Structure 1
Amino acid sequence: MNKKDFRVKQISALKEFSTDNRKMESKQILDSLFQSESWKSAQTVATTLSDDLEFDTKPVIQQAQLENKTIVVPRTTIAGRKMFFNALTANTRLERTKFGILEPVGEDTVEPEQIDLIVVPGLGFETKTGFRVGFGAGYYDRYLADYNGKTVGLALTPQLLEKPEWPVDGFDIDLEQIISKDGVVYEK
C-alpha cells in the first residue's frame, strides 16, 4: 500500500476509535511516558499542539510545565519545508497556518542540541524497527535527520503495526522508542 492510501486508512481507523478507548489508552501511554528515563532526564521537551485526530498532547505540555521543563512546539516554513521549534510560554502568540495547524509566531528558535526529547507525531508506528508514517509533508523526517537527542512515538492501538504497511523510504527516520497502552513496545 502506498503512503497516501495508508494515511487515508489510518485517519479512518482513528476517527472510528472510540472516545472511551482513546481516553483509557492515552492515560496508560502517558503514565509510561512520564515514568520513562527519557522523560525524567529531559529538561527540554518538544511536542506538537495536537488536533482532534492526533494523540492529545495537552497532558504532555501540562506535565512538562508542572515539572518545570521547557516545552517547545514546531513552527514550519512553506519555502524549503523547514521546521523549527519555539518555546511555548504564557506569552507565546499562536496562529493557525493555512493547513489549520496552531504554530508559534516569531523567530525565537530553540536549537536542536537544546532539545532533549521529541514526542514525534504519526499516523502509524511499526514496532519491529521503529519506523513511522506521518501526515505527509516530511517535516519531522527532515528535522530528525540532523537531531541527536531522544525520540518517542505515542501510539494508540489503531496506530500500532508489527510491520510497515507502507513503503519505508531512505529518508524515513526511525524512532528510538514507541510507547503504547502496554508500555514500551519498541526500543532501539
Structure 2
Amino acid sequence: MEKKKQRLFVRTVILFLLVGALVYTLYANFNKDNNSAAKKGSEAPDFVLTDLEGNKHKLSDYKGQGVFLNFWGTWCKPCEREMPYMDNQYKAYKDKGVQILAVNVGESNYSVQNFVDRHKLSFPVLIDKDSQVQTAYDIDPLPFTFLIDKDGKIVDTVKGELTEEIIKNHMERIKPN
C-alpha cells in the first residue's frame, strides 16, 4: 500500500511538471511577438559584427544616419535577386546619410565572400556567426529588412524580397533631413 501511494505521488509531481512546461511553452509562444525587442517604433537592438575585411560595425555608431538593415543568406534566391538593387541604392544614398548593413545569417566567410565577389557588392556585409543578432531581431524567414531612422528607432520591418523601386522608397523614408 505504501509503494502505491509513493508511485501516485511521483506520477502526480511528474504530471504537474509536464502541465507546467506546456503552459509555459504556450504562454511564451503566444507572447513572443509582444516581447520582441526589434519591432516597429522601438529602439533597434545594438550589436557589433565584423565584415569580410575584418572591420567591426556597431549599429549605434550609425546614429545620425538612416540604416537599411538586411538579413540574408547565400542560398536564398529572393535575397540574391534583391542584392544588385540594394547595391545600386547604396551607391545613390551612402553620401545622403543612408547606410546599408547586410547581415549574413551564420555562413562561412568563404561562401559569403564568393557571393559578394560574384555580385560585386560594395556595401558592408557582416556575418552573424553565432546567430545572436538574428535571434535578437527575431528573423524568420529571409530576406528580412529593418528600416532604422537617424535616432536608432525602427521605422518599419519588411519581410520578403524587395524591388529596386521599393528599396529606393525605403531609403527615402529613412534619409535624414
Return the structure number with greater helix share: 2
TM-score exceeds 0.5: no
Q: Which has the higher contact order (CA 8 A, sep 6+)?
A: 2
TM-score w.r.t. length of structure 1: 0.28
TM-score w.r.t. length of structure 2: 0.30
